[in-house]
Amino acid sequence: RAKAAGRNNAQWFEPTMLEDINDKLSLSARLRQALVARELSTVYQPQIDLRTGMLVGFEALARWWAPDIGSVSPERFIPVAEDSGLIQELGGWVLRKACADIAELQHELGRTLRLAVNVSPRQLRGTSWLDEVLAALAESGLEPGQLELEITEGLLIDDHGDAVDLLDRMRDHGVRIVVDDFGRGYSSLAYLTRFPIDKIKIDKSFVHQIESVDAGAAIVDAIIVMAHALGLAVVAEGVETTEQRRYLSARECDEVQGYLYSHGLPRDEVAAAVRRIEAGEDVGVS
């Protein structure tokens, strides 16, 4: 439509759209500065093995706080980073920082930990991502098998082969691939058998339906059964209540992650949270 309006197509834009565009432009400029000024940080959300109740690993989540603008949610700045090409730099930084932090935490806690890192489709373009992953592992001393890369279903479905080849090569090195937000956007399940993946993460919208929607529990159950039939591990995100935890445990979901246990934590708060979680003090919290 804008094209049809020709030269004057600016008229077609609503003032709110222009504001939106300006907002995105200034946010990407601001994000570029933030990477230099070290305003970004990472937090770590615990993942718990349901059979043993032990904490087995963490998902690294990016955070942005700046004195002038306060905190900006990743729901806002990750899409901006993706559109502006900053995601490569941001994602590489998160990866290196998280590997280094987890290596330190292993030392502090005296055990092996797993790390899950989110990866945007655009980060897999080009050839450097595999090198970045291998370098971050080598620098930190983590084994490839301790690293999980969380990708979204869209990547598998929209991709024309290159990204999937890259995932294959990462798996050859021992890195594990997880489908994040499983069930959210797409209904085709065929890709689960076709693509190189190790695990699925059930989207929190389904987890929240366990109690609130009639078929909710049945859907979650079906996802778990299907994943296991395909030899995939299952983690549920967004677990907030003991009721949800009990159901997932009864259905033999492998792992859980959610506010019932902990929010994402700064590195220095992790050790205390691990002790609290494994002492079972989350029980009754919702």
Q: Where are the beta strands (DSSP E) in 21-113?
A: 40-49, 55-66, 70-72
* DSSP element (H, E) containing 33: helix 15-37
258 touches which of ligand C2E, Mg ion, none (CB within 5 to 8 A by kind)? ligand C2E
Q: Please classify residue 11 by burial: count the beta carbons closer than 10 Å to its beta carbon, then call 0-12 exposed, 13-18 middle and 19+ buried.
A: exposed
Q: Which of the residues 45 through 64 are near ligand C2E (CB under 6 A)?
A: 45, 61-62
- The total number of residues shown for the chain amounts to 286
255 binds Mg ion, rule: CB under 5 A = no
123 binds Mg ion, rule: CB under 5 A = no
**Contact window for ligand C2E (CB under 6 A) among 4-12, 103-111, 114-122, 164-172:** 114-122
DSSP string, 104-169: HHHHHHTS--EEEEE--GGGGSSSHHHHHHHHHHHHHT--GGGEEEEEEHHHHHH--SHHHHHHHH
Among 73, 127, 187, 212, which residue sits at the site for ligand C2E (rule: CB under 6 A)? 73
Contact letters for ligand C2E, residues 164-203 (x by CB under 6 A): ----------------xx----------------------
**Contact window for ligand C2E (CB under 6 A) among 13-21, 189-197, 236-244, 278-286:** 236-244
148 binds Mg ion, rule: CB under 5 A = no
Instruction: List C-alpha distances in Å: 165 to 16, 92, 109, 189.
Output: 41, 20, 36, 20
259 binds ligand C2E, rule: CB under 6 A = yes
Closest by alpha carbon to 230, among 204, 278, 196? 196
Compute the least distance from the CB of residue 11 to ligand C2E, in Å: 35
Positions that interact with ligand C2E (CB under 6 A): 45, 61-62, 73-75, 78, 91, 94, 118-120, 150, 180-181, 204, 237-240, 258-259, 264
